[in-house]
């Protein structure tokens, strides 16, 4: 049996979300069909109105209510001399969950990835350069993922910011807290040993 066209369309949209395959998309669409009509309409409008309701913070590139500065950039208790560069919003939230960083952010909006056609032109590089040379920021933490593309992006940014009057750092590489040493990969062990800290 074919799904009605309206359902098939819905399945195609759900499939484009991360981690959702054809079967998962069918399951989500069929579950949605069991909702009350009003709830379907409200959910649909919540999605359809995203472009009007959500935009990017003009100071850091993070998601924010349309036309507004984001909650972090407008928070005067955050340390404006520290700027943490992340690839995307999930990474920003990950750093926030760490609950120790009190500086501000710059959301790149991606990473260099030549194979996927990302040459940096859609990244927030102009904004980063502006923040780096604006005078307020003293240190920029390049918190990109320590994988191949993340390192390449960090190296590219370090070059871009070579002349900016800021300190450039990156988070420490080492053993994840709570992990078992015997399961650590060799690159992590190597980084953890070369970056060892004094105990006394």
Q: Which residues bind a copy of itself (CB under 8 A)?
A: 1-7, 9-10, 13, 16-20, 24, 26-28, 30-35, 37, 40-51, 53-54, 63-65, 70-72, 88-90, 92-93, 96
Task: Report in angstroms how near the CB of residue 184 gets to a copy of itself at its nearest.
Answer: 25
Cβ pair 148, 119 in contact under 8 A: no
Q: Which is nearer to a copy of itself, 73 or 161 (CB)?
A: 73
Q: Which is nearer to a copy of itself, 48 or 189 (CB)?
A: 48
Q: Which is nearer to a copy of itself, 50 or 155 (CB)?
A: 50
Task: Report in angstroms how near the CB of residue 111 gets to a copy of itself at its nearest.
Answer: 13
Residue 167, beta-bridge partner list: 139
Q: Residue 166, SS3? A: coil
Cβ pair 110, 123 in contact under 8 A: yes
Question: Beta strand pairing status for 139-142 and 63-65?
Answer: unpaired
Task: Report in angstroms how near the CB of residue 158 gets to a copy of itself at its nearest.
Answer: 26
Task: Report in angstroms how near the CB of residue 110 gets to a copy of itself at its nearest.
Answer: 9
Other CB atoms within 10 A of residue 90 CB:
8
Distant-in-sequence contacts of 121-125, Cβ < 8 A, 24+ apart: 124/61, 125/160
Q: Which is nearer to a copy of itself, 24 or 174 (CB)?
A: 24
Q: Which is nearer to a copy of itself, 49 or 130 (CB)?
A: 49
- Joined tokens for residue 110: 């991606």
Q: What is the largest CA-CA distance in the chain?
A: 71
Task: Report in angstroms how near the CB of residue 80 gets to a copy of itself at its nearest.
Answer: 16
Cβ pair 67, 52 in contact under 8 A: no
């Amino acid at each position: 049996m074919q799904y009605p066209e309206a359902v098939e369309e819905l399945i195609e949209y759900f499939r484009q979300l991360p981690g959702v395959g054809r079967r998962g998309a069918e399951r989500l669409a069929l579950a949605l069909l069991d909702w009350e009509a009003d709830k379907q309409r409200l959910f649909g409008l919540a999605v359809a109105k995203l472009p009007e309701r959500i935009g990017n913070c003009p100071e850091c590139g993070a998601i924010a209510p349309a036309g507004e500065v984001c909650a972090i950039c407008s928070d005067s208790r955050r340390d404006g001399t520290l700027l943490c560069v992340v690839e995307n919003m999930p990474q920003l939230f990950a750093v926030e969950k760490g609950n120790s960083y009190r500086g501000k952010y710059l959301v790149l909006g991606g990473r260099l990835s030549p194979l996927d056609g990302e040459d940096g032109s859609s990244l927030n590089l102009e904004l980063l350069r502006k923040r780096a040379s604006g005078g307020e920021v003293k240190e920029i933490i390049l918190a990109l993922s320590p994988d191949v593309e993340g390192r390449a992006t960090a190296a590219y940014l370090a070059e871009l910011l070579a002349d900016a009057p800021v300190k450039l750092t990156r988070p420490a590489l080492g053993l994840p807290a709570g992990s078992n040493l015997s399961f650590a990969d060799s690159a992590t062990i190597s980084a953890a040993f070369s970056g060892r800290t004094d105990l006394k």
